[in-house]
Chain A
Amino acid sequence: MKKLGILLALALVIGGALPGLAQDMMDYPSDLTACEVDLTGETINIFHFGDLSGPYAFITQPIVSAVTDAVSYWNSRGGVCGAELAQIYEDTGGSREAAQSAYDRFTSTYSDELDLLLLYSSDDGELLREQLAEDEIVSYISAGSIESLYGEDGQTPGWLYASNPLYINQFGSFCQFVAASPEVFPDPVIGFVTWPNAFGRAGTEPAAREYCGGLGVEVLADPQFFLPTDTDILTQVQNAIDAGANIIYTNSLATGPALIAGTLVDLGLEEEIKLAGVNWVMDTTVGLIGQRVLKPNGLPSVDGMFGSMPFLWWTELSNPAVQFVYQQFTLNERGPAEQNIAYLLSWGVVDAIIETTLRTVNRMGSLNAVTGADIRDTVAAMDYEVLGGLYHQYFEESMRDGVLNRIAVLKFANTTMTGPAAGPEDALLIDNPAGGKLFVPIVVPLTDFMEVPQLRG
């Protein structure tokens, strides 16, 4: 009930900026390759597995919803070149053993069909990197660690392709932004307060420190780690501040950034210490959870948090890709917690899988003739606006991650939905069915898309 209430409220808010959108069915925004082969009677399977119920569940759970919606969208329109779409997925709960087991099951059960696999996490990418190469299976992933994409030496591109820039490169572009904004970040010193897994540690490498140091942005050598179950991280935050940090950077999601922001407010340091993070900190969940603590100015604790935004966001409704996903989200009556990064990007990934498959089938003459190596050749040659502009997919020969990023700030909408609220008095508040009011989180890009620095060494 609560979810539905918030969904209706958010839908009302965002839908208000889109007159007539819900009534007129939009055309598919992407310029897909024309069919040269009739695939009637065939099935294109979208294979994916990962953590749907463990620490990443906040983010990943809407992947299944988005792929389900995309599959039914295509199948209700006769499929892709006549081929029916289907999804085959498994929840690994964040366990490496379960991920390995899922991989073994997929590769043994679908040995002839599995040429392209969607993965969710750096940990799974690192685990399966060598096996994917051996089995010649291409994997799309939204963001990966250096080891998952380029091996332990950081120089050996594998079979995983990430649409987002490496986390370390995202951090590098944040350093660029900090260095270019001395009025906001005078004498910048960045301290990591982050999760202790492969994802959380990304960006803490010496190469990142060196690069940022070269720009005049000091990065503390010792990251402070906390667990997703921690209720009190005063010690970690104060450690970073005592070491000189005036910017806290985090590779965590959902409760993670919200907990840090709340701690800064508790310490009365919300203005003095800036908070920033990887692309996941800009997610809706953070905007909603971060409302548990208000700043002295009356806005939520996460208001003003900086982060990477290497793709378009829900609020960029002038773009047909976002309009389209928003319309599908509404038509499928999805819940507010699903209006997140994963839902948006998963529509993009399905589009990328369809385009990759079509190009390969056209070249090879039939779906059955396609191998993982053929898919890899296709990916290497692709220069493609995914879903007509949600993000750009182009991998140079030795590249396995996206190269474009921009920096954005998490804010809360004003009453006229024309921009961020300056204070609670002009903030848009919607009824929370559980009692009280809710601020409406928005993401405001601060830079254009720009190339990220390459920091993997």
Chain B
Amino acid sequence: MTESINRNKRQLTWALYILAAVALLLFMGDQLAGKKAARIVQTLISGVLVGGVYGLVALGIVVINKASGVFNFAHGWMMVVGGMIFWSFFTVSEISVAGASLLAAATMLMMLTTASYRNLLERRNLLIAAGGTVGLTALMTVGGIEWRWLHALTGTVAGAILTGLAVERFTIRPLIGQPLFTAVLMTLAVAEVLHGVTQIAWGTVELDLPIFVDPQTNSRFKPIRLDAFREALDGLAIIRVELVIAFVLALLAFVGFILFFRYTSVGLAMRATSEDQQLAQSVGLRVRVILAITWAAAAFLASIAGVLQGGAVGLSLNISFVALRVFPAVLLGGLESVTGALVGGIIIGIVEQFGTLINSSQQVGANLAPYVVLMLVLVIRPEGLFGEKRIERI
């Protein structure tokens, strides 16, 4: 008997999971049977829109993993830092020229020295850095508060590049050649450092980030009410405009990154680097520079997600926890897959919302459902829905 179980262990495990999946579907069907169509449609809309933002956060984690194999636990705190930098430029009427210059100069300096500190010795490079500093400073400080979108976007891009490059230069680069696990642990340390820096720089209180505000009424955009379908759905469903904007921005970011990875030389180099850093270096790819660009790109994605999340619910240290909720999406989609990040995010968003619809009192949506789905998928496809199957020849 024991021998027979051992021999058919894999099949038995499969059978158990299939049984669990069928039971889950039957349970869900039963639970949803009594719900109005409007509730189901509403839950689906909310799930997709929230999932889009999850996907954007997941994309930042995937980009790092794709290029370096590192799972970045600091991504949530990079979101907070990006959001806070945006807030600093967006809500301040008179921006300090000295502060903006410092940010611009630091960013340019980090960019200039990405490949080597020897670049500082070339006059041409210094001129480029000086010109870049002046240009960035001008963009961050020109005009009054009516130019705040320009100030905030420029400041956030500069801040994200600086954050990403600094993290890579001072924490990840020294670990090249060390076991991957060391770098993963380093990201945990980076998370704590960013946590501390954020507290010191911006405090811990909630900050209002009024980006989704109708300038006519000075209040949040009114939701789109699906009144035309009220009768058909036996109730009202609504679509929140700020979530639609966040979703569209997330989609644009996805398209951009898919094109970037597929059609640009840097994107192809990133993919090569992720396969084998030593091999990539041996064929002339500048692995250091590629990793630096990757971290800057991830920090930029984190900043976008931080701004969108902050605009939707307010900026606080809590938004770092969104990254924790996104981990199932990353694993579900596949650690190296850009498409997987989006699909995983949306699936987790929908599963969370339906879990909540069925049983919010036990937190089925937030705590249980995403992980059940994740387990089921990983059993069937351990590499995730869109992950790459690795075959190692011995």
Contacts and interface: CB of A to CB of B under 8 A. Distances in A.
Nearest to A238: B39
Given A225-B363, A238-B39, A52 B204 contact: yes
A120 B49 CA distance: 36
A434 interface: yes
Most chain B beta-carbon neighbours within 10 Å: one of A196, A258, A292: A292
Contact of A1 (B43, B93, B210, B312): B93
Contacts of A454: none
A229 interface: yes
B91 A292 contact: no
A196 B210 contact: no
Interface residues of A, number: 52
B interface bracket (residues with beta carbon within 8 Å of A): 35 or more
A46 B220 CA distance: 43
Interface in A276-308: 285, 288-289, 291-294
Contacts of B321: 227-229
B319 interface: yes
Contacts of B240: 232, 266
Given A52-B204, A229-B325, A234-B238, A255 B91 contact: no
Contacts of A1: 91-94
Given A266-B223, A289-B206, A436 B238 contact: no
B245 interface: no
Contact of B361 (A62, A225, A292, A337): A225
Nearest to B203: A61
A267 B309 CA distance: 21
Contacts of B43: 235
B236 interface: yes
Contacts of A224: 356, 360-361
Given A2-B91, A225-B361, A232 B317 contact: no
A236 B366 CA distance: 12
A337 B90 CA distance: 18
Interface string B149-172: 000000000000000000000000
A434 B356 contact: no
A292 B206 contact: no
A123 B314 CA distance: 24
Given A224-B360, A292-B220, A337 B322 contact: no
Given A231-B50, A231-B309, A337 B206 contact: yes
Q: What are the 4 A-B residue pairs with the smallest beta carbon separation, nearest first? A: A57-B204, A222-B361, A434-B91, A436-B218
Given A58-B204, A239-B360, A434-B145, 4 more contacts: A229-B322, A266-B240, A289-B208, A434-B91
Interface of A: 1-2, 52-55, 57-58, 61-62, 93, 196, 222-232, 234-236, 238-239, 242, 254-255, 258-259, 262, 266-268, 285, 288-289, 291-294, 335, 337-338, 433-437
